[in-house]
Amino acid sequence: MDTTRRHALKTGGGVTLLTLLAAAGWLKPGEAAAEDWNKAAFETKSMDETMKALGGGAPATSADIIFFSTPDIAENGAVVPIGITSKIANTQSIAILVEKNPNMLAAVFDIPAGTDTSLSTRIKMGQTSNVYALVKADGKYHVASKEIKVTLGGCGG
């Protein structure tokens, strides 16, 4: 843990996933205030840095997070449909991250008890990239990823 942190500090620049989670209020007990918008989390730039920082706190790859109605190829990066279902018990939050976007965090959904842990929305993608579905359940983090190719459509002119 310590080593990871030091490493992250040394490399500088990138914000680690842990910082991201802390900033997003996920590491604190209780719900984030409704009108909070966590600037630091939405300004993360490097997936590499966040992945290096995972160490002991790394989200576990989970087969219980499923992408639905999410194509492998997007005809246009301006609108990419993303559907995520978490089958993990006590899911509290679902976040969407795009590895190669200028800022990788796209959206975080806090899901109160009584709301299905399944939702769909649409995001922008600048280029072909891995998309991560990050789930917080019982205070632990789980992740699934999917590569979505972005193509150039139409006449290209």
Our finding on whether 89 is near another protein (CB under 8 A) is no
Our finding on whether 118 is near another protein (CB under 8 A) is yes
Our finding on whether 38 is near another protein (CB under 8 A) is yes
> Please, are residues 82 and 131 in contact by the beta-carbon 8 Å criterion?
yes
Our finding on whether 2 is near another protein (CB under 8 A) is no
Cα separation of 123 and 58, whole Å? 25
Cβ neighbours of residue 148 closer than 8 Å, sequence gap 6 or more = 70, 71, 72, 73, 74, 80, 125, 128, 129, 130, 131
Number of residues counted as binding another protein (CB under 8 A): 54
> Please, are residues 118 and 101 in contact by the beta-carbon 8 Å criterion?
no
Q: Which stretch binds another protein (CB under 8 A): 1-9, 14-22, 58-66, 118-126?
A: 118-126
The conformation of residue 76, written as its DSSP 8-state character, comes to: -
Our finding on whether 27 is near another protein (CB under 8 A) is no
Q: What would the two tokens of residue 104 be? A: 């990788």
Tell me which of 8, 17, 88, 123 binds another protein, using CB under 8 A: 123
In terms of CB distance, is 1 or 40 closer to another protein? Answer: 40
Residues that bind another protein (CB under 8 A): 24, 31-32, 34-38, 41-42, 69-76, 78-81, 83, 98, 101-103, 105-112, 114-116, 118-125, 149, 151-157
